[in-house]
């Protein structure tokens, strides 16, 4: 699945179509290649969203969907440009493919800094990690929960007998 379509990529790369209205089997790149890049871009986007704690995909009527559609088309357009021979004439010159690729990653970083729940994405409640508490009663509540997954580590688990314990030292 992808957020954007081949026609969205065609709007960003009309010079690659050779007079055609959209990508097809006779264009370079072909519509199949563009669809593959759209799927790959979608995977990158959703992987990042999940790592940030959100549940993709958002609803198609949300602001998040529109922004993800733009990023998805941008990624595929960069790949389409890369598939064509682009010659750099000088070390300072940037190809269109490099520009589109850099723009994709910069805008993805900008997306990471946003509050995506305000754009229609929901937080993934199952990815909440617990590593302590703010009070003894909070800790006891977690300890008394019989449905809780047992911790994988505990304080002093790797302590060596006869050595100084960092949690017993006070700084005074």
- Residue 101: per-residue pLDDT: 93
With helix as H, strand as E and coil as C, how does 8-56 read?
HHHHHCHHHCCCCCCCCCCCCCCHHHHHHHHHHHHHHHHHHHHHCCEEC
Task: Check pLDDT > 70 for residue 167.
Answer: no
Which residues are CB-neighbours of 88 under 8 A, at least 6 positions away?
A: 94, 95
Q: What local confidence, expressed as pLDDT, does residue 126 receive?
A: 66
Tokens of 2: 């992808």
> Mean pLDDT over residues 135-157, rounded?
73
Count of residues for the chain? 172
Q: Name the more confident of 125 and 33.
A: 33
Q: What is the pLDDT of residue 133?
A: 57
pLDDT in tens, 71-97: 999 999 999 999 986 666 666 667 888
Q: Is the pLDDT of residue 34 over 70?
A: yes
Q: Is the pLDDT of residue 172 over 60?
A: no
Q: Could you write out the three-class secondary structure of the chain?
A: CCCCCHHHHHHHCHHHCCCCCCCCCCCCCCHHHHHHHHHHHHHHHHHHHHHCCEECCCCCCCHHHHHHHHHHHHHHHHHHHHHCCCCCCCCCCCCHHHHHHHHHHHHHHHHHCCCHHHHCCEECHHHCCCCCCCCHHHHHHHHHCCCCCCCCCCCCCCCCCCCCCHHHCCCC
Q: State the average pLDDT for the chain.
A: 84
Is 70 a residue whose pLDDT tops 90? yes
- pLDDT tens per residue, range 48-61: 999 898 988 998 89
> What integer pLDDT is reported at residue 169 of this predicted model?
60
Contact (CB, 8 A) for 3 and 67: no
pLDDT score of 148: 76
The pLDDT, as a whole number, for residue 143 is 72
**pLDDT of 30 above 70:** yes
Half-sphere exposure (CA, 13 Å, Cβ side) for 52?
Answer: 21
pLDDT of residue 168: 62
Domain spans, the chain:
1-172
């Amino acid at each position: 699945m992808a957020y954007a379509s081949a026609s969205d990529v065609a709007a960003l790369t009309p010079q690659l179509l050779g007079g055609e209205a959209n990508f097809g089997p006779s264009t370079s790149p072909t519509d199949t290649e563009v669809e593959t890049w759209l799927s790959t871009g979608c995977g990158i986007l959703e992987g990042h969203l999940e790592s940030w704690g959100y549940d993709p995909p958002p609803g198609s009527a949300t602001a998040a969907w529109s922004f993800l559609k733009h990023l998805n088309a941008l990624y595929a357009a960069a790949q389409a440009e890369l598939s064509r021979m682009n010659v750099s004439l000088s070390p300072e010159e940037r190809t269109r493919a490099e520009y589109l690729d850099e723009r994709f990653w910069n805008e993805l970083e900008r997306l990471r800094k946003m509050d995506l729940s305000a754009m229609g994405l929901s937080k993934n409640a199952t990815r909440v990690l617990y590593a302590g508490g703010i009070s003894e009663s909070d800790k006891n509540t977690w300890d008394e929960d019989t449905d809780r997954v047992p911790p994988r580590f505990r304080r002093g688990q790797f302590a060596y007998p006869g050595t100084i314990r960092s949690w017993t030292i006070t700084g005074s």
